[in-house]
């Protein structure tokens, strides 16, 4: 039996439901808690996320919206790893800026862009589940923040570059592991588990409880949604299997390469050690033989001299240690 409070995943809602003006409040709530200021969406703009292909069908969803201030907000949900992800969001922001200014327009027509990335994969190393990036100009020697003079309606005002330059929010959904207490935490909890507290007062989630209920969808919509969930599970299983197999293959290759390298190093070291030992042994043996040969030659010369002096062979043998037979042959 289905639970009454089962809600559809946010990636499905973003692609199929939140583009409807009647559901803008849900998306507005998420953006409001992130920016910490009330946001009103006036229009959903055409984006890559509207162009469905096999890869994006399961992996990526994005919504590009314009708020009441004319600012552009890109909300992207990414389910699996993409190698050049940061480069792609930078490209997406740059493209959004150029798409909304015409050739010949003054630069004051450049729109502020917010990029919100909701990620279900490990982007890198970090202790937090939410990261915020914006541009500030800081004095190299003074450490102060540069403010730009801006004249509006004959009134000189000061503004900082972050009021114009793009801002980035990266939500690492899988890193959220705490009890949701604030509106932001309640939103992250919903993004991760699909659960919404009955007592929530978070902007957008109150509307989500009404708009995103599974049982309020038609039978056809529920069938499509269930297939979407099954496809994601299959894709994740394939990716996990590939990761495990890749890890095993990598270990096997590493082990084989390590053994081969070890053999080569061992052989090289063995040759060097053997050569050194052989040289040392040869020197020692040659020295010993040389000494013995030199010693025998010296004794022979002494024996010859003693023999010329008339000493008997037996006596000479006693003096030199040479055999009598050898002494007898000496002249």
What's the CA gap between 246 and 277, in Å, rounded? 45
Residues 208-235 as b or e (16 or more Cβ within 10 Å = b): bbebbbbeebeeeeeeebeebeeebeee
Q: Considering only 143-147, 204-208, 311-315, which range has the smallest mean pLDDT? A: 311-315
pLDDT for position 21: 92
Q: Is the pLDDT of residue 153 over 70?
A: no
Using CB atoms within 10 A of its CB, is residue 170 exposed (0-12), middle (13-18) or buried (19+)? buried
What residues are paired with 65 via a beta bridge?
A: 44, 73
Q: What angle do CA 273, 279, 281 make, to 5 degrees?
A: 100
pLDDT for position 240: 63
- Dihedral of alpha carbons 22, 27, 31, 32, sign: positive
What's the CA gap between 171 and 188, in Å, rounded? 8
pLDDT for position 54: 46
**What are the residues whose beta carbons fall under 8 Å from the beta carbon of 7, sequence distance 6 or more?**
190, 194, 195, 196, 208, 209, 212, 213, 214
* pLDDT band with cut points at 50, 70 and 90 for residue 289: low
Kindly list the distances between the CA atom of residue 287 and the CA atoms of 33, 106, 291, in Å, as whole numbers in the listed order: 90, 95, 6
Per residue in 2-48, pLDDT tens?
A: 455 689 999 889 888 899 999 999 999 999 999 999 999 999 987 65
Domain ranges of the chain: 10-217, 218-298
Per residue in 69-121, pLDDT tens?
A: 999 999 999 988 888 899 999 999 999 999 988 888 998 889 999 999 999 98
Token digits of residue 92 = 């997406």
Kindly list the distances between the CA atom of residue 13 and the CA atoms of 46, 77, 85, 217, in Å, as whole numbers in the listed order: 17, 11, 23, 11
Give the chain's end-to-end CA distance (angstroms, integer): 124
Using CB atoms within 10 A of its CB, is residue 18 exposed (0-12), middle (13-18) or buried (19+)? buried
């Amino acid at each position: 039996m289905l639970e009454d409070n089962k809600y559809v995943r946010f990636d499905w809602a973003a692609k199929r439901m939140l583009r409807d003006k009647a559901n803008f409040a849900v998306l507005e709530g998420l953006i409001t808690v992130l920016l910490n200021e009330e946001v009103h969406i006036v229009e959903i703009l055409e984006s890559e996320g509207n162009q469905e292909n096999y890869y994006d069908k399961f992996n990526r969803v994005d919504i590009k919206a314009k708020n009441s201030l004319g600012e552009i907000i890109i909300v992207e949900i990414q389910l699996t790893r993409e190698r050049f992800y940061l480069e792609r969001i930078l490209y997406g922001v740059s493209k959004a800026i150029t798409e909304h200014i015409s050739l010949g327009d003054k630069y004051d027509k450049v729109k502020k862009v917010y990029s919100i990335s909701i990620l279900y994969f490990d982007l890198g190393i970090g202790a937090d589940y939410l990261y915020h990036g914006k541009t500030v100009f800081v004095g190299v020697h003074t450490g102060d923040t540069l403010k730009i003079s801006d004249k509006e309606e004959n009134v000189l005002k000061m503004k900082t570059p972050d009021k114009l330059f793009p801002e980035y929010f990266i939500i690492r959904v899988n890193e959220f592991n705490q009890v949701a207490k604030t509106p932001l935490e309640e939103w992250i909890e919903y993004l991760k588990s699909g659960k919404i507290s009955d007592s929530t007062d978070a902007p957008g989630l109150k509307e989500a409880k009404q708009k995103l209920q599974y049982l309020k969808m038609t039978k056809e919509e529920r069938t499509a949604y269930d297939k979407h969930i099954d496809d994601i599970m299959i894709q994740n299983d394939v990716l996990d299997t590939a990761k495990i197999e890749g890890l095993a293959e990598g270990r096997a290759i590493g082990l084989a390469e390590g053994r081969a390298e070890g053999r080569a190093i061992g052989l090289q070291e063995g040759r060097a050690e053997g050569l050194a030992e052989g040289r040392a042994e040869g020197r020692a043996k040659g020295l010993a033989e040389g000494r013995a040969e030199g010693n025998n030659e010296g004794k022979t010369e002494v024996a010859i001299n003693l023999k010329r002096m008339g000493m008997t062979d037996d006596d000479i043998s006693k003096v030199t240690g040479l055999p009598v037979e050898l002494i007898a042959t000496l002249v």
